[in-house]
Homo-oligomer: A and B are copies of this chain.
Amino acid sequence: MAEEKTELPGSECPFQAAMDLISGKWTMSIINTLMGGTMRFKQLERAVTGINTRMLVKELKLLESKELVHRQAYATVPPTVEYSLTEKGRALQPVIVAVQQWSGNQM
């Protein structure tokens, strides 16, 4: 039997490496929402249709580790946390516009 090709991380292919960063279910919707500017957690949760608290917490941690989102905590009482796009995250604007155009024409 031909040896089963093991699934390698896609990083060998630059395109797949890019998709690995942005292909999470909610990733691009969160980035699209933050294009509007800095937001707090509850604002984001209300703005991203369909997401719940647990999923948003997980996705924001992932986005921060991928350097697409910046997390800023303030030592207020109670503490406040704000999320904004990094330069790398904001540079996804053309991808978002292309998806919006495809969605408008094809769906």
Interface residues on A, range: 35 or more
Most-contacted residue by chain B among A48, A97, A103 (CB, 10 A):
A103
Binding site secondary structure of chain A: helix
A107 cross-chain contacts in B, Cβ below 8 A: 14, 17-18, 21
- Cα of A23 to Cα of B20 in the assembled complex, Å: 10
> Contact between B45 and A16 (Cβ–Cβ < 8 Å)?
no
Given contacts A10-B50, A49-B10, A102-B92, contact A32 B20 (CB under 8 A): no
- Cα of A45 to Cα of B25 in the assembled complex, Å: 24
- Residues of A near any B CB (own CB < 8 A): 4-29, 32, 45, 48-55, 88, 91-92, 94-107
